[in-house]
Amino acid sequence: MPVFTFEGTAKWKSGTECDLSIKGKHIITVSPPPEFGGKQGYCVPEEIFAASLASCMNTIFLLIAKNSQLNLKNLETKTTVKMDAESLEKLIFTHIHFDMKIKLEKDDEWNRKKANTVFKKTEKICPLRQSWGEKVPITFKLTFQ
């Protein structure tokens, strides 16, 4: 299997704000939470991390759904990342939760069962779970719209 490398750049703008870019394209300006001296009203880096994880889970779910011939009308994943700030020198992730909401093209018992199977496979091959193991609890929830 190939090895994938992903890169992003954070360039200091002013104060505690940084411009994030990917492949030379500006994405967003972020600032740490006000508790760490950041400015109110900006996205914080951990929110970008959470949104990226949600996108990753969507991609995995969609690939498995396609292979399973499960047709969707909608898929939305909200990721909640919890972090414990013991001190400025010790910031640790303590929990990650994926809340997936799907709307099936044909909402019946057969397709819901298939969707749950797809969901379980997505949960099993989650790259975070495979990378971090049980060091950080990772939970999943699936609801139908």
Minimum mean pLDDT range among 12-16, 86-90, 117-121, 126-130: 86-90
Cβ atoms < 10 Å from Cβ of 125: 12
Residues 32 and 42: beta-carbon distance below 8 Å: no
Q: What gap in Å lies between CA 106 and CA 108, rounded to an integer?
A: 6
The domain over range 44-144 is classified in CATH as 3.30.300.20 = yes
State the pLDDT at residue 10.
96
Retrieve residue 119's tokens.
């969901």
State the pLDDT at residue 85.
82
pTM value? 0.88
Backbone phi, psi, residue 98, to 5°: -105, 120
Taking only the tens place, the pLDDT of each residue in 1-42 is 789 899 999 999 999 999 999 999 999 999 999 988 899 999
State the pLDDT at residue 117.
97
Instruction: Judge whether residue 131 has pLDDT over 90.
Output: no
Taking only the tens place, the pLDDT of each residue in 48-106 is 999 999 999 999 999 999 999 999 999 999 999 999 987 777 888 899 999 999 999 99
**Domain spans of the chain?**
1-43, 44-144
